[in-house]
Amino acid sequence: MKKSYRRVLNIAGSDSGGGAGIQADLKTFSALKCYGMTAITAITVQNTCGVSSILPLKPTLIREQIETVVSDIGVDAIKIGMLFDPPKLELPNVPIVLDPVMQAKGGAQLLKLDALEVLKSLFAKVLLITPNLDEASVLLGRKINKPAEMIEAGKALIALGANNVLVKGGNKGCDCLITSSEEAVWFKKPPVKTVNTHGTGCTYSAAIAAYLAHGLPLKTAIRKAKHYLHRALKKGSEYQLGSGHGPLYHFIGVSR
């Protein structure tokens, strides 16, 4: 009997620089022994210095990509990233991780400001949302920074319909998971001193989705994804690529 792949569908934008978005997610899936598939939502023109242009794809084309892939190949987990102008989506009943991408590291808007409510409507349909501090602040309309505020933000997003919320602390190295029962669980790693942080959020959420595709429980998937991300950041700090924010080293632990 032939083996089966662990299949992860990635619904996100394309990064021409290869450090974030679809490209970073596919590298992450491969590194974690999953078969990655894509539904591209937008094409971005960018490099390590920033985003210079965005071309969103038509909602019908986004939906057709999802339907065509799922109907033939199937899917074990889904990661949703940059949507820019979120379409109405019919999603399979599998673990889904939503990274509410809003702004690129250089400041470019990756989500239309009038699309915030559409994004929030997806919360109840997914297993986990993974906002960073800035994204949580926008979603809730107040500044989120301190650990106590991260816990309260997670609970507030649960109240908005989310099932589980991972509030990411960024360079503080601490992330807080608020579960559907409002339990707070912390995931901590020492901060990594590096400018090569492009695609960190994409990679983290993609890694969680990959581990969920392997059948791991949510907390275990997050813990292992946090460990993978930390190692990818450390190894990536040894490299120089471009003149801005370089990428992580996604293939950490994979033999050459």
* Residues above pLDDT 90, as percent of the chain: 85
Asked whether residue 1 is domain-assigned, the answer is no
Cα–Cα dist 123/165, whole Å = 10
Asked whether residue 148 is domain-assigned, the answer is yes
The confidence score (pLDDT) of residue 172 equals 76
Q: Which domain holds residue 201?
A: 7-236
Token pair for residue 172?
């503080």
**Chain mean pLDDT for the chain:** 94
- Model confidence at 128: pLDDT above 90: yes
Q: What is the CATH number of the domain that holds 32?
A: 3.40.1190.20
More confident residue, 171 or 44: 44
Q: Which residues are catalytic?
A: 168, 197, 199-202
Q: In what order do the strands lie in the sheet containing 165-168?
A: 50-56, 35-47, 7-15, 77-80, 96-98, 128-129, 165-168, 174-178, 184-188
Asked whether residue 54 is domain-assigned, the answer is yes
- Model confidence at 255: pLDDT above 60: no
The confidence score (pLDDT) of residue 106 equals 66
When divided into structural domains, the chain yields a total of 1
In angstroms, how far is CA 250 from the centroid of its own chain? 14
Asked whether residue 254 is domain-assigned, the answer is no
| H/E stretch holding 154 | helix 147-159
Asked whether residue 243 is domain-assigned, the answer is no
Report, as an integer, the average pLDDT of 193-211.
97
Asked whether residue 78 is domain-assigned, the answer is yes
- Model confidence at 197: pLDDT above 50: yes
